[in-house]
Chains A and B, each alone.
Chain A
Amino acid sequence: MKILVCVTNVPDTTSKISFTDGDTQFNKAGVTYISGPYDDYALSRAVELRDQLGGTVTVLNVGDVDSEPMIRKCLAIGADDAIRVDAPPTDSYFVAAEIAAIAKQENYDLILMGRESIDFNSGVVHGIVGELLGIPSLSPVMKLELDGDIAKLSREIEGGKEDLEAKLPLVLGCQEPIAEWKIPNMRGIMTARTKPLKVVSASSISTTNVSKYELPAAKGACRMIDAADAETLITLLKTEAKVI
């Protein structure tokens, strides 16, 4: 079983977002970076399947050198080796084209990703990669079991889920509860230092560019209603906010 796991290097969920240079650059100052929470689930399931069935787990990130601590953490959790495409991940199509170019060189049985990145929240990289490789892509996947080369999975749909079966190879966007969330242990951290991390350069170009960023307008003050008069809320929602 050869599994490729694609991971993003993203600001921690508690980060305060701001911009510099006249709102044209993301302000990295004071921001802690993590692997995407959905990507963590993809990696955890990959490691579980490898431990169960044998094979290898390769971690792939499209990003600059700042991603390396996060990549080492993925190696500490249990990936066998890693590839970094040395380019800023500016655009979904660009990132997907880079991932597909790597995947074409190896025959991966499974390419696991997160359902979405938490910086751009697009939820599209897996689908683009699937199409570029000419294999099925499915997302968001909540359960994945393998029976030989048949994957039995469940995918979240609006108001529930659907059970599906498909033959490998597949590209899947993952979300909980697909696996137990894993954190690195001491031994993992030690061995991760010497696991191979290959750096390659990018081969495609971006088809979007951001001209400017903007922060949402600040919320006005919260209007407090006394608990004794809670019922007035309904009147206010009707006559003032006009939402019901």
Chain B
Amino acid sequence: MSVLIFVELSDGAIKKSCLEAIFYGSKTAKQLKTSAIAIVLGEMGQSELTSLGNFGADKVVNVADGRLNQENIIAYSNVLGQVIEKEEAKVIIFAKSSLGDAVAARLGGKFNASIVANAVELPDTSAGFKVKRSIYTGKAFAFTELTSAIKIILIKKNAVVIEESSSNATVEQFSASLTDQDFAVKHIQSHKSTGGISLPEADLVVSAGRGMKGPENWGMVEDLANALGAATACSKPVSDLDWRPHHEHVGQTGIKVSPNLYIACGISGAIQHLAGVNSSKVIVVINKDPEAPFFKAADYGIVGDVFDILPRLTKAVLADK
């Protein structure tokens, strides 16, 4: 048996959330007295593959097939299925993401596997196999027992704190059998904003709402984000109004984030907004209305005008460097 971890790439680089998944998988493997195998689909440099040992992978399986460089839900799940069989994997770990969800789900169908999403802690394997997961968009947790032979876990960001070691993983190539069926969904083109920090992956997030008055004022949000090395996010009305792109919208109906720091500027803190950000470690709220509900969910608050406060914070961050 083994524990298998799916490693997702973004623009050819390994995603940080997947390093967390590898560490989570290696800890789980230790509990089960077995080995942790990371799987990387598509072409990737040897040294990067070997370095996954630093995060706990005992072995890395790579399928260096150029056709897999482009993300593909169907092909990825079929290849993973072949590796799961070969390695007799019993626990499969994914970092939660739109690709991870979609691939994990198909594997669930293939192997009659229990799936739990949004795991926030390592599994409890003392008796059976239990996972604590976040439910109701962060409003509660459920201790869920998985009873199928193969178990699939999608972990939420910050489910574990990585402890890096220095060890090299052995790297093995796997040649997967792929058919035309795997490429039946045709990729036409991708539209991606280049540069910037990926929001779901970010440790620091600067987010802004309707209090910014208009898209022309986002410069000061970006300035603070750049100074901190943070990603930018927004409330739903802001993306509905097209002030910002849809993929920046956080909340109940948007991206769920759990960064170390979430700074909310001119956002009232509606319950649907909080649902997407309430598992952030530290929340800072800047709002001119002292009664804004967001202050109740905050760790630090400033009652003030964003147009005055934001540039001053940026200056303070830069002065401190």
A residues near B, CB below 8 A? 11, 13-15, 17, 19, 37-38, 91-93, 96, 116, 118-132, 136-140, 142, 155-167, 173, 175-177, 207-216, 219-220, 222-227, 230-231, 233-234, 236-238, 241, 243-244
Q: Give Cα A90 to B74, complex, Å.
A: 26
Contact mask for chain B residues 299-314; partner A; CB cutoff 8 A; 1 contact, 0 none = 1111111001100110
Separation in Å of the B271 CB from the closest CB of chain A? 5
Q: Give Cα A244 to B300, complex, Å.
A: 14
User: How many residue-residue contacts, CB under 8 A, span A and B?
Assistant: 281
The 10 closest A-B pairs by CB, nearest first: A127-B105, A131-B109, A227-B304, A160-B192, A124-B105, A122-B117, A123-B101, A163-B188, A231-B316, A131-B106
Q: Assess whether B98 is in contact with A225, with CB atoms less than 8 Å apart.
A: no
Q: Assess whether B312 is in contact with A139, with CB atoms less than 8 Å apart.
A: no
Q: Assess whether B246 is in contact with A177, with CB atoms less than 8 Å apart.
A: yes
Separation in Å of the B23 CB from the closest CB of chain A? 20
Q: Assess whether B192 is in contact with A208, with CB atoms less than 8 Å apart.
A: no
Separation in Å of the A205 CB from the closest CB of chain B? 10
Residues of A within 8 A of B275 (CB): 13
Q: A158-B198, A166-B186 are in contact. Are A223 and B301 (CB under 8 A)?
A: yes
- Chain A residue nearest to B140 (CB atoms) is A17
Q: Assess whether A160 is in contact with B140, with CB atoms less than 8 Å apart.
A: no
Q: Assess whether B253 is in contact with A208, with CB atoms less than 8 Å apart.
A: no
In chain B between 264 and 321, which residues have their CB closer than 8 angstroms to a CB of chain A? Answer: 271-272, 275, 278, 281-282, 284-285, 295-305, 308-309, 312-313, 315-317, 320
Q: A209-B144, A209-B145 are in contact. Are A157 and B102 (CB under 8 A)?
A: no
Q: Assess whether B253 is in contact with A160, with CB atoms less than 8 Å apart.
A: no
Q: Assess whether A138 is in contact with B135, with CB atoms less than 8 Å apart.
A: no
Separation in Å of the A218 CB from the closest CB of chain B? 10
Q: A122-B117, A124-B105 are in contact. Are A213 and B142 (CB under 8 A)?
A: yes
| B228, CB-defined interface residue at 8 Å | yes
Q: Assess whether B147 is in contact with A208, with CB atoms less than 8 Å apart.
A: yes
Residues of B within 8 A of A224 (CB): 300-303
Q: A158-B198, A238-B320 are in contact. Are A13 and B144 (CB under 8 A)?
A: no
Q: Assess whether A216 is in contact with B147, with CB atoms less than 8 Å apart.
A: no
- Chain A residue nearest to B230 (CB atoms) is A244
Contact of B247 among A119, A161, A220, A230 (CB under 8 A): A161
